[in-house]
Amino acid sequence: MGEFANNSRAIRRAFLDFFASRGHEEVASSSLVPENDPTLLFANAGMNQFKDAFTGKATRHRSRATTAQKCVRAGGKHNDLDNVGRTARHHTFFEMLGNFSFGDYFKEGAITFAHELLTDVFALPIARMVFTIHESDDDAAALWKKISGVPDRQIIRLGDKDNFWAMGETGPCGPCTEIHFHQGDDVPCSEEFAGRKCQGPACDCDRWIEIWNLVFMQFEQREDKSRIALPKPSVDTGMGLERLAAVLGGKRSNYETDLLSPIIAAAAVRAKKTFVPSDYSDGSVSVSLRAIADHARATAFLIADGVFPEKTGREYVLRR
């Protein structure tokens, strides 16, 4: 973890270099304002700019790509706004690291790359990971076992809610496998406060943090609710840079990484308040400081992409 602790720039570069050296074209992030896509309010995933390459409407000269994509999740299908400040891991603005295969490699390639990057390059202990897969996906189960060598208990089958990913009401979609990292059983869990059992990687608490989602793109969801097969099975992955930075820095919260902690510190000085990293209590100063840091980034990046506060549409979301 050493060279990557408190060094998000090095993490981003290591991710892109890893995939570039394995035949992926390094493509710049698209704008937060999606081009020619009325189904999207903001770019919400790395795959957005490649939607037509997945569905076969466009062809790319290279069949593999990698990006660090600016994302805003503050509206539409993927909306994290209400959780911001209240958890260690949710944001309106974040960066998604991704690798993409347009009909090139599929499940085995995606899992092999993910395993190699996490264990060899980032040196994360496999004993602290679990891999969730779609309940129907025997191939993914067998591949994780073969490639990582983990025992069965580290491969968990979940349903559509957790392990089927879609960009929106329409568009490319498919079953996915998520990599979760164990942050510690002493991290508070609201299920336990309510007298129930923590659901582990399927729980909403911060004990297990999902760091990477590998989507096996196989279908296109149509407006008439039908689902058709994509021309070729493909891969779309998304890893939250802020989450990976927290894990590699030995932190339990994205807000304690170099991406966000300087903004919290600056806001706390100006407000003459103290930030308490472990304080998630309703209405607390620390919840507000996290929200300020998150919203400051979202605001800055949206304005840089030409969105200005107004009364309707994405401009209204920014104003809020």
Site residues (vs ligand GLY, CB under 6 A): 45, 47, 165, 213, 215, 236, 238
**Nearest approach, Cβ of 306 to ligand GLY (angstroms)?**
24
**Nearest approach, Cβ of 61 to ligand GLY (angstroms)?**
22
| Cβ nearer to ligand GLY, comparing 41 with 45 | 45
| Cβ nearer to ligand GLY, comparing 80 with 236 | 236
**Nearest approach, Cβ of 275 to ligand GLY (angstroms)?**
29
User: Which residue, 195, 147, 167, 190, is CA-closest to 44?
Assistant: 167
Residue spans of beta strands (DSSP E) within 195-249:
208-221, 227-240
| Cβ nearer to ligand GLY, comparing 243 with 290 | 243
CA 70 – CA 28 distance, rounded (Å):
10
Helix (H, G, I), strand (E, B) or coil at 195: coil
**Nearest approach, Cβ of 214 to ligand GLY (angstroms)?**
8
Pairing of strands 164-166, 129-134: unpaired
* Alpha-carbon dihedral sign for residues 210, 214, 218, 223: positive
Q: How far is CA 294 from CA 52, 84, 91, 94, 242, in A?
A: 31, 7, 6, 9, 11
| Cβ nearer to ligand GLY, comparing 83 with 284 | 83
| Cβ nearer to ligand GLY, comparing 172 with 249 | 172
Residue nearest to ligand GLY (CB): 238
User: Which residue, 268, 273, 276, 272, is CA-closest to 296?
Assistant: 268
**Nearest approach, Cβ of 271 to ligand GLY (angstroms)?**
33
**Nearest approach, Cβ of 125 to ligand GLY (angstroms)?**
23
Q: Within a 10 A sphere around the Cβ of 23, how many other Cβ atoms?
A: 14
| Cβ nearer to ligand GLY, comparing 47 with 260 | 47
Q: What are phi and psi of 285, to 5 degrees?
A: -60, -35
